[in-house]
Structure 1
Amino acid sequence: MAKSRLQIIPLGGLGEVGKNMTVFRYGDEIIVIDAGMAFPDETMPGVDIVIPDFSYLIENRDKIKAILITHGHEDHIGSLAYLLRDVSAPVYATRLTCGLIEGKLKEQKIGKYNLNVVKTGDEFRRGSFRFGFFHVCHSIPDSCGVYVRTPVGTVVHTGDFKFDHSPVDGEQTDMHKLAELGRNGVLVLCADSTNAQNPGYTLSEAVVSKSLRDAFHEVRGRIILATFASNVSRVQMAIDAAVENKRKVCVFGRSMVNVVGIALEMGYLKAPEGTFIEPEELSHYRDDRICILTTGSQGEPMAGLSRMADGSHRQVQIHAGDTVIISASPIPGNETSVGRTIDNLMRLGAKVITSRTSRVHVSGHGSQEDLKTMLSLVRPKFFVPVHGEYRMLRSHAELAESLGVPKQNILIGDNGTVFEFTNRSGKINGKVQSGAVFVDGLGVGDVGNIVIRDRQQLAQDGVFIVVIALEKGSSQVAAGPDIVSRGFVYVRDSEELMSGARSRIEHVLERCNTGNVTEWNAIKTQIRDALGRYFFEKTKRRPMILPIIQEVR
């Protein structure tokens, strides 16, 4: 790569919401911004989380000078522990973000790491890169954008942001720093596109604070509030509302317990002594003196709220008089699971308050007027919309063009796209390997598209297993065929279908015997094809068919 060119390569976060990761490369030097994860959708059965494909970084691991993290949400830190298994590079982040990262690294048993706490205003040099952090408003304290000074010009990466003039923590997005960067000249702006289709400004977090206080004041029974564990600002609002109304707070959900513990210890959450109680103490208090904080705002099957809703939670049973507040909006793809959770809660007699019925949630991402403000302050020569699905990127590009950024200077790409810049030009110059890596239990990347396709087939049409014993060296049947069906049909109730299946298996074996076909793979293929045609003709279903052949001497 020519040393006079800067490459910006998103490995996650383009054409999707989640698993944000962007690579900056100049010559033989690389820095990485964010290392996030995404939640699986309903087409990924059994998958726990989705992380970016790190192949490009692993191939270039010796070139990586630093990893910069903008804030502590899972879609920005959730894959860092997996990356640090293969890459050794210093990590730079603000204090709370470092605390959350350290908790995840210990959980994943990452023994060696170099974590550096930064403050806004500090500037660092790693190789040809000089970088610093500036404060932005988001739904977690210590959120930052990043500026990177390179030999060809300055790049601003906003991270997740909005302009909130009455933030809960009192810290506004640093417009002065953004204006200063703009005055001194910005080559490229990479900006959050999540709400690029939403007109106006995003509402202030103060709106949510008031709505939660009102709800806590009015409700007479138990309050169960579900939100993202990493939404520390929202958790603080819930604690404040509970304290005002003399409610004790009990925390459920592993990630919620972890984050609340870290944030309390570091001083980012504040509560009077005696505010929190243990689960076994719930029975000591009247319902109108209890607030339960839990995970599960996205309907995740094993999260606290989901288990309360389906009756499988060991310590909390939902009953009439409970009020459940879901202080989050469904991530695209999670609408069905969230709706199912709400239905289950209401069947159990709970009242459910969501962002559709009350202002118990506002986005942490800027809407169109926020995005226009960012563009106007930074005044970039080139613009790359990031962090969003394609329609969001396109809407953001149109906003930039309406503010005077030349159309030819607005570049839209996908994960893996190589955006290449000199101090005068910008273009797309090819792609690198990118994509999604599935994490299932302890396995990372061992579940690929073929495994997912098999799981989808099993979930949709089940499996049909045929066990046959053949005499050695021939296709003469010694025993069987024995049939096992799971998730396809119940064998005892489908005798006619099973009889037809056996007939077709026997016909295939006779044909193989006559034709002197003794190679097992050929016999299996013929059985699979014959049964596949038969089952589709009779049931319009395509179960996974697994012939198993045993040899008898």
Structure 2
Amino acid sequence: MSHPHPELAPPPPLPEGGLRITPLGGLGEIGRNMTVFEYDGRLLIVDCGVLFPEAEQPGVDLILPDFTSVRDRLDDIDGIVLTHGHEDHIGGVPYLLRERPDIPLIGSKLTLALIEAKLQEHRIRPRTTEVEAGDREQIGPFNCEFVAVNHSIPDALAVAIRTPAGMVVHTGDFKMDQLPLDGRLTDLHAFARLSEEGIDLLLSDSTNAEVPGFVPPERDITNALDNVFANSPKRIIVASFASHVHRIQQILDTAQKYGRKVAFVGRSMVRNMGIARDLGYLKVPPGLVVDVKQLDDLPDDKVVLVCTGSQGEPMAALSRMANRDHQIRITEGDTVILASSLIPGNETDVYRVINGLTRWGANVIHKGNAKVHVSGHASAGELLYFYNICKPKNLMPVHGEWRHLRANAELGAMTGVPHDRVVIAEDGVTVDLVEGKAKISGKVPAGYVYVDGLSVGAVDEPVLKDRKILGDEGIISVFVVMDSTTGKITSGPDIHARGSGIDDAAFSEVIPKVKEVLERSAQDGVVEPHQMQQLIRRTLGKWVSDTYRRRPMILPVVVDV
């Protein structure tokens, strides 16, 4: 199995007749999925998603793929194929379209409806092409065939990309539920047909490659939900992804059975469920869904709230309820259902929310204590079955952390893909399909691009490091006024601390040391303000470290008069 190395250089020019595949996100992480295909100087992009920040990225709203490698080639992009409507696959589209608004978007009806609603908030009117399973579209030199796959959102598609260099199949996110709620199976017949034609390279979802066996069918959840509804004496609050139409449909059906009214809470939940209902993907019985304002007129045992926040997102409705920062107040006897799996990295945030809800008396039901969620990604048994159908000549695991990618690679090798044809890449690593063999050819920039408020890319790692220091250690400000002629101190040093746990009065011990250093520096003829600031920072920093074992940010200000 080939794998990337940190010493990889930028890739050489693509050999004539070759196809280059460049993942700009989604490999080594769960999120910001984006893959660029290049043939004969033209580009096709599959998905453009976002990654949600962790605690180590304070203040960051979203993390985007790095568009650097395509920024100078925006006119070469023939289209963006969107496999499905989850944020980690479509959330970055508005930011790429800011750079070229007329890039065509190709996707299924629900996927395009979700991205169009998002783009409306960014005041972008996209060019779109709606496709269905079985359709074929010529997108520049790329002939794309779309195949139905089953996932945790309706209308998900895999795409088979045909070029003279060979056929590449990108699965998108998929599983093989044999009893899907909407009756839409992963089209194994189509994959078998593609296999007979010859799949030169398969890019396959790796998220559950470590999990043995098969994912249970979505229908199995119905009984668990029925049991929760039957035994909940007061309100039921369900937290789910705002795009999980299947799960929301099960909640609606169970609420109807038990005579409860349903209200959607949160802008994205209200918007997405409205879109799903209007397009016929969500079947809502008349009178079942009410406005959240009507809940005060209903008894608690007749209420179901559906909100966002199943991953512990700080600003989502459920987190705010747990923090008593929401109009809906959790009370003793309420039942909260977390209808989702834990995305790796979110565990701490989710358990913090669970503890907060429990503190106020809620009974919290989650995947760990009840069968209220099944994954949307194929487990190892399904992947083995899938590879035996597809028989790919080359395999490239995608969509997963390193452990998932490697586990998926091993599964492919077990089904007969030669070890030297299994390519484990990471974000930015280019893979060239030339004369039927896929191999790593180089690396392009693929770092994190942070969205912070209205700024995109302005926040970088040094800024995040400063934020971490401020959050963990606090800040000490020092203000000194000096005579620019004599170099003598005319006022100060005035030292104040915030968030460091050090009382301002304690600095009386170090002020003489700071004065001494500055006066000695002036005698030596060093009176330039920046140099003075460095002296203050070193002197004060050493004293704080020796005295308190802390390393706060020190902000010295030297004023010449």
Q: TM-score range by the shorter chain?
A: over 0.9
| Contact in 1 for aligned 2:484/2:527 (Cα 8 Å) | no
| Contact in 1 for aligned 2:308/2:316 (Cα 8 Å) | yes
| Contact in 2 for aligned 1:189/1:384 (Cα 8 Å) | yes
Q: Confirm or deny that 1:71 pairs with 2:68.
A: no
Q: Confirm or deny that 1:465 pairs with 2:477.
A: yes
SS at match of 2:185: coil
Is the deviation greater in 470-479 or in 275-284? 470-479
Q: Match for residue 253 of structure 1? A: 266
> Where in structure 2 are the equivalents of 1:289-304 lying within 5 Å?
289-304=302-317
Q: Match for residue 537 of structure 1? A: 546
Output the amino acid matched with 2:288: T
| Contact in 2 for aligned 1:417/1:432 (Cα 8 Å) | yes
Measured in 1, the distance between the counterparts of 2:419 and 2:40 equals 28
SS at match of 2:476: strand
Q: Match for residue 445 of structure 2? A: 433
Measured in 1, the distance between the counterparts of 2:183 and 2:226 equals 18
Q: Match for residue 457 of structure 2? A: 445
Q: Match for residue 530 of structure 2? A: 521
Measured in 2, the distance between the counterparts of 1:9 and 1:526 equals 48
Measured in 2, the distance between the counterparts of 1:146 and 1:509 equals 68
Output the amino acid matched with 2:345: G
| Contact in 2 for aligned 1:329/1:361 (Cα 8 Å) | yes
Output the amino acid matched with 2:189: H
SS at match of 1:362: coil
Measured in 1, the distance between the counterparts of 2:421 and 2:442 equals 17
SS at match of 1:446: coil
Q: 2:237 aligned to 224, 227, 233, which one? A: 224
Measured in 1, the distance between the counterparts of 2:257 and 2:350 equals 29
Q: 2:493 aligned to 481, 485, 499, which one? A: 481
> Where in structure 2 are the equivalents of 1:88-167 lying within 5 Å?
88-110=102-124, 112-167=125-180
Deviations 1:207-251 (A, max 9, x none): 122321222122221100001111111111111111111110011
| Contact in 2 for aligned 1:93/1:117 (Cα 8 Å) | yes
> Where in structure 2 are the equivalents of 1:334-353 lying within 5 Å?
334-353=346-365
> Where in structure 2 are the equivalents of 1:331-410 lying within 5 Å?
331-410=343-422
Is the deviation greater in 373-382 or in 177-186? 373-382
Output the amino acid matched with 2:348: T
Deviations 1:30-86 (A, max 9, x none): 100000101101100011111111111212111111100000000000100001111
| Contact in 2 for aligned 1:474/1:517 (Cα 8 Å) | no
**Moved beyond 6 Å, runs of 4+:** none
SS at match of 1:479: strand
| Contact in 1 for aligned 2:529/2:560 (Cα 8 Å) | no
Q: 1:215 aligned to 216, 228, 231, which one? A: 228
Measured in 1, the distance between the counterparts of 2:90 and 2:440 equals 27
SS at match of 2:331: coil
Output the amino acid matched with 1:201: F
Output the amino acid matched with 1:215: V
Q: CA deviation at 1:106?
A: 0.5
Q: Confirm or deny that 1:52 pairs with 2:61.
A: no
Measured in 1, the distance between the counterparts of 2:254 and 2:73 equals 49
| Structure 1 residues 474 and 420, CA gap change in structure 2 (3 angstroms) | farther
TM-score after normalising by structure 1: 0.97
Q: Match for residue 295 of structure 2? A: 282
Measured in 1, the distance between the counterparts of 2:382 and 2:202 equals 14
Q: Confirm or deny that 1:201 pairs with 2:214.
A: yes
| Contact in 2 for aligned 1:247/1:289 (Cα 8 Å) | yes
Q: Match for residue 265 of structure 1? A: 278
Deviations 1:434-462 (A, max 9, x none): 11111111111111101100000001100
Q: Unpaired runs of 5+ in structure 2?
A: 1-13
Q: CA deviation at 1:89?
A: 1.3
Measured in 2, the distance between the counterparts of 1:275 and 1:490 equals 57
| Contact in 2 for aligned 1:4/1:422 (Cα 8 Å) | yes
SS at match of 1:380: coil
Output the amino acid matched with 1:532: G
Q: Match for residue 6 of structure 2? A: none
Identical amino acids, percent of aligned pairs? 44
| Contact in 2 for aligned 1:187/1:423 (Cα 8 Å) | no
User: How many residue pairs end up in the alignment?
Assistant: 547
Q: Match for residue 82 of structure 1? A: 95
Q: 2:20 aligned to 1, 4, 7, which one? A: 7
Deviations 1:117-162 (A, max 9, x none): 1111111112211002111110000011111001111100000000
Measured in 1, the distance between the counterparts of 2:382 and 2:118 equals 32
Measured in 2, the distance between the counterparts of 1:435 and 1:201 equals 34
| Contact in 2 for aligned 1:221/1:323 (Cα 8 Å) | yes
SS at match of 1:186: coil
Measured in 1, the distance between the counterparts of 2:317 and 2:271 equals 14
Q: Match for residue 3 of structure 2? A: none
Measured in 2, the distance between the counterparts of 1:473 and 1:277 equals 74
| Structure 1 residues 473 and 428, CA gap change in structure 2 (3 angstroms) | farther
Measured in 1, the distance between the counterparts of 2:493 and 2:191 equals 73
Q: Confirm or deny that 1:308 pairs with 2:321.
A: yes
How much is the aligned-residue C-alpha RMSD, in angstroms? 1.1
Measured in 1, the distance between the counterparts of 2:487 and 2:425 equals 56
Measured in 1, the distance between the counterparts of 2:525 and 2:230 equals 82
Is the deviation greater in 330-339 or in 450-459? 330-339
Q: Unpaired runs of 5+ in structure 1?
A: none
Output the amino acid matched with 1:5: G
Q: Match for residue 502 of structure 1? A: 511
Q: CA deviation at 1:490?
A: 4.6
Q: CA deviation at 1:474?
A: 4.4
Q: CA deviation at 1:193?
A: 0.2
Deviations 1:11-30 (A, max 9, x none): 00001111000011012111
Measured in 1, the distance between the counterparts of 2:457 and 2:222 equals 41
Measured in 1, the distance between the counterparts of 2:150 and 2:227 equals 24
Output the amino acid matched with 2:280: G
